[in-house]
Chains A and B, each alone.
Chain A
Amino acid sequence: MSSPRYWRGIPQRYRLEAGKCRKCGKIYFPPRLICDECKSREFEKVNLPKEGKILTYTIIRVAPSQCTDQAPYAMGIVELSAGSTGKDGVKILSQIADCDFDKLEIGMPVRIEFRKIYQEGEAGIICYGYKCVPV
Chain B
Amino acid sequence: MVADPLRILDCSPITDGAAAVILAPLDLAKKISKKPVVKIIGSGHATDTIALHSRKDLTEIKSTERAAKIAYEMASKSPDEIHLAEVHDCFTIAEICVIEALGFAEKGKGGPATEHGMTTLGGKIPVNTSGGLKSKGHPVGATGVAQAIEITKQLRGEAGERQVKNAKVGLTQNMGGSGGSSLVHIMEVV
A residues near B (Cβ < 8 Å) are 28, 36, 56, 58-62, 75, 77, 91-93
CA separation between A93 and B52, bound complex, in Å?
8
Contact of A59 among B3, B49, B53 (CB under 8 A): B3
Contact of A62 among B2, B5, B49, B52 (CB under 8 A): B2
Q: How many A-B residue pairs have CB under 8 A?
A: 27
- Give the interface residue-count category, chain B: 10 to 19
Contact B58 A62 (CB under 8 A): no
Q: Is the interface of A mostly helix, strand, loop or mixed?
A: strand
A-B contact pairs, 12 of them (CB 8 A): A28-B54, A36-B49, A56-B58, A59-B1, A61-B2, A61-B4, A62-B3, A75-B3, A77-B58, A91-B53, A91-B54, A93-B51
Interface readout for B156-173 with A: 1 if CB under 8 Å, 0 if not?
Answer: 000000000000000000
B residues near A (Cβ < 8 Å) are 1-6, 49, 51-54, 58
Contact A77 B4 (CB under 8 A): no
Contact of A60 among B3, B49, B51 (CB under 8 A): B3
Closest B residue by C-beta to A76 = B53
Contact A92 B53 (CB under 8 A): yes
Contact of A77 among B5, B6, B49, B52 (CB under 8 A): B52
CA separation between A77 and B51, bound complex, in Å?
11
Contacts of A92 in B (CB 8 A): 53
Question: With A58-B4, A59-B3, A93-B53 given, can you name 15 additional A-B contacts, CB distance below 8 Å?
Answer: A28-B54, A36-B49, A56-B58, A58-B3, A58-B6, A59-B1, A59-B4, A60-B3, A61-B2, A61-B3, A61-B4, A62-B3, A77-B52, A77-B53, A92-B53
From B4, B49, B58, residue with most partner A Cβ within 10 Å? B4
